[in-house]
Chain A
Amino acid sequence: AQSVTQLGSHVSVSEGALVLLRCNYSSSVPPYLFWYVQYPNQGLQLLLKYTTGATLVKGINGFEAEFKKSETSFHLTKPSAHMSDAAEYFCAVSYTGNQFYFGTGTSLTVIP
């Protein structure tokens, strides 16, 4: 079955430190890949997505992710964490634009 795995349900980083949120997918067919952020009591917002082309994708708020086919990964990074980055982050995959699967989420805490 197609699925997506997010390693680490909770991640804590200090303000100004590197943010790394991990996402791996299981599929022999390269999927479309997404990262969403969910702030408390708000809807999900797209951070970035990969469909085709350049494997390093830049998104909003300074986030970026790299699609690595050999590792079936799509990890999310940000060089310097801000307090405002504290939220729930979801990785998602889709196959041909349908059959969307979300990971279980990673809660990011930023320590002042």
Chain B
Amino acid sequence: EAGVAQSPRYKIIEKRQSVAFWCNPISGHATLYWYQQILGQGPKLLIQFQNNGVVDDSQLPKDRFSAERLKGVDSTLKIQPAKLEDSAVYLCASSLGTADTQYFGPGTRLTVL
């Protein structure tokens, strides 16, 4: 069974530029999560989708971050414009449903210069 796929694996941009990350969850998983993991810290949940609806986005900086999961499968996370403090690893995870085991992708490491 294929795992959670993310791309790109690495991205370097300058501040004020825009960037987008892509996630393909495990087939059949209704719940999809985006996390931000800053170096030396634990992952912080940014947004949680149940199919194509948002369950929780309370910690998403909505002035610059956006995410969508239009068809209830793939998802994209966008940052526009990026700030230096956005440098982090962005993790995508999926699960069959809420409270089920989350399976994590390898992450996208973003460096903002």
Contact = CB atoms under 8 A, between A and B. Distances in A.
A105 B41 contact: yes
B99 A102 contact: no
A109 B105 CA distance: 24
Per DSSP, chain B at the interface is loop
Nearest to B42: A102
Interface string A78-98: 000000000000101010111
Given A97-B97, A98-B48, A42 B42 contact: no
A44 B98 contact: no
Nearest to A95: B99
B45 interface: yes
Contact of B56 (A49, A92, A98, A105): A98
Contact of A44 (B97, B99, B104): B104
- The bracket for how many chain B residues form the interface is 20 to 34
Contacts of B106: 41-43
B42 A97 contact: no
B43 A94 contact: no
Contacts, number: 54
Interface string A26-50: 0000001000100001111110010
A104 B104 contact: no
Main SS of chain A's interface residues? strand
A100 B56 CA distance: 10
A99 interface: yes
B61 interface: no
Interface in A1-45: 32, 36, 41-45
B45 A104 contact: no
Contacts of B48: 98, 100
Interface of A: 32, 36, 41-46, 49, 51, 90, 92, 94, 96-105
Interface of B: 3-4, 33, 35, 40-45, 48, 55-56, 91, 93, 97-107
11 contacts: A36-B104, A43-B4, A43-B91, A44-B104, A45-B104, A46-B102, A90-B42, A92-B42, A97-B97, A98-B56, A102-B42
